[in-house]
Amino acid sequence: MYAGESMKTLFAVVALSLFTVPTCAADFKQLENQIGQIRSEQRDNKADIEQLENGIKETRRDQLNYKVEKDLLKEAYGSSLTTINTVLALGLGVITLIGFLGFRDIGTLKKEYTEELENLRRMRSAFAKKATSLSEMQKKIELELVRVTETNQMQSNRIKVLELQEKCAQLIASRNYIRALEYATVGLSLSPDEPILLDQKAISLFRIGRFEESLREYESLSRIDPKDSGVLPSRYELLLLLGKIEAFDKLWEENSGIPSERPGAGSLRKYFLIFRSFVAGDYAAMNSAIDAFVSPRTPPKRLEYWNFSEVETLVRKSSAPEEAKTKFLSFINVLRNTGGE
């Protein structure tokens, strides 16, 4: 009984095993996979642990390096601070020494500076005086140079004017009046108020028939020297030649005719009054004056220095009666040739 039951039990176990083996095999395979996965995770964990250990080692090494560097910096800072303190101490010592020496000699330096400053002031004052003196001397020299230059120029111009006067007189004497006028004009450009040149210009203009211009030159001469009685007769004659009787009468009245101190003043006075009558056409008055003035017993004084050529030309060209012209020309001839006083 017991054997039969054992067999049944064994059979049941075998049967059960046959049904459970495949299942166990699958579970075993799954278990192996899990074990492999666990081992793989263990390897990964081991690598992480090794990495952590390396990190911890590097951290410890960095901590050690930091500590070393910190100690080195402390040592270097302490050495530099000591050096700086030493240098500052030495610098302060040198400055103190210099300050001591400087304060000690500052009085001497101030005194020397004051003396040098005073010397410079004296030198500056002396230089200013010297410069002022030189400037004044330079101005004097310049003024003297200008004066000498002006004097030389005046003398040079004067020599030229004299030479032109002489040449002009020669040309007038040779009756080259146009050339004489050119020389007189040049001379007056150098010396505008030169009386001799003005007279020579007036004579030249008079001789070539430019009566208006000649009269202006004689008027200029009168303004320069109102007391020059030699200019009046020429102005009288020019005014009559131009037919300006009113101007002649005014000038005659202002100057009381011909000054008595002039040579031949009486004859010259009668000449102008008779010439005025002729120009005014008062031939009766002219004839009476000529007859009364010209007398064998008291002949008029000869006017040998007077040139009647322009008046004679005017009379001959005038429209006066021939009898009056002949009478007046004969009167002129008497004045020219009579030798009585």
Q: What is the pLDDT of residues 270-283, one digit of tens each?
A: 999 999 999 999 99
pLDDT at 340 over 50: no
Q: For residue 282, give the H/E element and its range.
A: none
With tokens 């009056």, the residue in question is 324
Q: What is the mean pLDDT of residues 17-23?
A: 54
pLDDT at 20 over 60: no
More confident residue, 160 or 340: 160
Interior/surface letters 117-141, b for 16+ CB within 10 angstroms, e for the rest? eeeeeeeeeeeeeeeeeeeeeeeee
CB neighbour list of residue 257: distance below 8 Å, 6 or more residues apart: 269, 272
Res. 252 pLDDT band, cuts 50 70 90: very high
pLDDT at 321 over 90: yes
* Angle value at C-alpha 269, between 268 and 270, nearest 5 degrees: 90
Q: What is the mean pLDDT of residues 30-48?
A: 78
CB neighbour list of residue 225: distance below 8 Å, 6 or more residues apart: 195, 231
Largest CA distance in the chain: 242
User: Which tens digit of pLDDT belongs to each residue from 99-154?
Assistant: 655 555 677 777 787 888 888 888 888 888 888 888 888 888 888 888 888 888 88
| Helix segments in the chain, DSSP class H | 2-173, 177-190, 195-207, 211-224, 231-241, 245-255, 265-280, 283-293, 309-317, 322-337
**Which of 17-26, 202-211, 230-239 is predicted with the least confidence, judged by mean pLDDT?**
17-26
* Angle value at C-alpha 261, between 260 and 267, nearest 5 degrees: 50
Across the chain, mean pLDDT equals: 82
Res. 221 pLDDT band, cuts 50 70 90: very high
Res. 339 pLDDT band, cuts 50 70 90: very low
> Quick one: tokens of 32?
């192996």
* Angle value at C-alpha 266, between 263 and 270, nearest 5 degrees: 130
Res. 211 pLDDT band, cuts 50 70 90: very high
